[in-house]
Amino acid sequence: MNAAVPPRDRLGRPLHDLRLSVIDACNFRCGYCMPADRVPEDYGTDASQRLSFDEIDTLVRAFVRLGMRKLRLTGGEPLLRKRLPELVRRLAVIPGLDDIALTTNGMLLASQAQALHDAGLRRITVSLDALDPDIFAEMSGRRGQVGTVLAGIDAAMAAGFARLKINAVVQRGLNEDQVLPLVERFRGTGHVVRFIEFMDVGDSNDWRQDRMVPSSVLRDRIAARWPLHPLQADYRGEVAERYGFDDGGGEVGFVSSVSTPFCGDCHRARVSADGRLFTCLFAGEGADLRSVLAHGEDALVAHVAQLWAARGDRYSELRGSPEVRDRRRVEMYLIGG
Ligand code: SAM
Ligand code: SF4
Ligand code: SF4
């Protein structure tokens, strides 16, 4: 495989985005991701399993040579990774990498936002499923406080992150009534709330289709209160459908991978904290990159190019079909969304 030519997979899709998990531990136990009754308290705390900053640096440089331009740091909870700003500082200077973003539950954001901004991070997504303190606490597995997350959002703004994305996963009967309050709270602030359909990731969240609220239902509900118009995607492969408020109050987004699969435009690879490549959010097994990393950047470029060229994933388009129905699926907290 000629690594100078960015690879395309079997469905013609380039490798444009990378989600890199920097840690698989988390300080929350959200039921849709890491249910407390199934994931032990000390899960993911063995630091020796994680890629080192040197390994991550080499890995990201190799992915840039394969065409990757957008990197998102995730987890588990990425702000639990020690010296994260130092990692960001190293990655921010890699030539060819256009964009570094971070997804966090926000609990530790207030104390780290400034250091992350100083290190060169410019985009943060905060997951926030509810404004009601009890609903929020319940959804975090009784580990999180909504006030702390909101303080983290304010601190991020003060540190220079002008426009945050706020992600909310909506589950029927749990936080559906939080949708309008979330929109109301962030309309007109410059932040963009995005509603994510509850997905059947992993094998432990007891996913049922009837617990998922389709984006179209939420969009109609929001539009009845604040009229909306569709906006153009910012770029090809953008996963969220964007809508603007007619009154100029900003925008809102919907990620609808259950009701409206977008596999045809899926340009995203995922790497777990221990260095396994997953070519789909719903993949069963990852391919170990760590042993190849030991042979350096060129070896990794050649190896990943081959793996990407063999990729044929399109789980969401096949959801429910015999081909994928009984397949094992990697847990979300290992690959970070
Ligand atoms: N801990 C960080 C956080 O929560 O933002 C980063 C990792 S978390 C796995 C990344 C995103 O995945 C979060 O926005 C979370 O809401 C989302 N997520 C987890 N499980 C999900 C599910 N079953 N369906 C839809 N989104 C999910
Ligand atoms: Fe932790 Fe994020 Fe998963 Fe919640 S969604 S359990 S915060 S990794
Ligand atoms: Fe991409 Fe897999 Fe999701 Fe399809 S199901 S959009 S291939 S991650």
- Residue 336's pLDDT is 80
Name the residue with the closest Cα to ligand 1, atom 12: 337
Q: What is the DSSP string of 251-265?
A: EEEEE-TTTS--GGG
Does the pLDDT of residue 204 top 90, yes or no? no
Q: Which domains does the chain have, with CATH numbers?
A: 17-335 (3.20.20.70)
Q: Is the CB of 205 under 6 A from ligand 1?
A: yes
Q: What is the CA radius of gyration of the chain?
A: 19
24-61 pLDDT tens trace: 999 999 999 999 999 999 998 889 999 999 999 999 99
Helix boundaries (H) for 43-167 = 53-65, 84-92, 109-119, 133-139, 146-159
Ligand nearest to the CA of 17: 3
Does the pLDDT of residue 16 top 50, yes or no? yes
Does the pLDDT of residue 2 top 70, yes or no? no
Distances (CA, A) of 329 to 82, 150, 196: 28, 32, 19
Name the residue with the closest Cα to ligand 1, atom 8: 336
User: Left (φ > 0), alpha (ψ -120 to 50) or beta: where does 121 sit?
Assistant: beta
75-123 pLDDT tens trace: 999 999 999 999 999 999 999 999 999 999 999 999 999 999 999 999 9
